[in-house]
Amino acid sequence: MVEDYSARSVFVINIDDLICRSILGFTIEKFKLLKLLDFSIAPLDYIPREVGKLCFLKSLNLRNTKVKMLPKSIGKLHNLHLVNTHIHNLPIEINKLRNLRHLLVFHHDHATGYGYGAFRGLRTHEGIGHFVELQTLTNVEAYHHHGFSLVKELETMSQLRWLCI
């Protein structure tokens, strides 16, 4: 097993489910200096709340995983710059990430095929306008709900360069 936890980047690609769970369950919080955590193409179905202890984490890639929700501890990752996921309902704690620069969300329901309804966007929460450093926001649903208007929130995002609704 790992004895040196000073790694800055961890890529977990095409490994056994048991090994993946072992990495998450027992060791992830020991990588205190971790800046990049990439689980793309890993047989992963959850992220433990201990990920919130990775205070230097800048990049979290969950693309092509089976993760359905992020822990509320995601709000503690104040240095996070990039979140790449297919989760369309993020916890409201994501709004605490003032340094977030890229929020990439793409959800495709393969069972539905490629027709209407097969693709879903990110359902945002009121307060998304606090992402003043955000440069990329992809596949967000534009809706008006209980006085919350995405368009109104976008007005404060002066760094936004790429928007996909």
- pLDDT digit string, tens, across residues 109-140: 656 666 666 566 777 878 888 888 999 998 88
pLDDT in tens, 34-56: 999 998 878 888 888 889 999 99
Asked whether residue 1 is domain-assigned, the answer is no
pTM of the entire structure? 0.84
Per-residue confidence (pLDDT) for residue 154, from 0 to 100: 85
Residue 131 contacts by C-beta under 8 Å, 6 or more apart in sequence?
95, 97, 98, 100, 103, 137, 157
Residue 68 forms part of a structural domain:
yes
Rounded to a whole number of angstroms, the CA Rg of the chain reads 16
Torsion of the alpha carbons at 28, 34, 39 and 40, rounded to the nearest 10 = 180
The answer to whether residue 26 sits within a structural domain is: yes
The reply to whether 51 falls in a domain is: yes
CB count, 10 Å around CB of 11?
12
pLDDT of 43: 80
Domain count for the chain: 1
What is the end-to-end Cα distance of the chain in Å, rounded?
44
- Answer whether residue 161 shows pLDDT above 70: yes
Whether residue 57 lies inside any domain: the answer is yes
DSSP 102: E
pLDDT at 76: 96
Q: What is the mean pLDDT of residues 51-62?
A: 94
Evaluate whether residue 4 is within a structural domain.
Answer: no
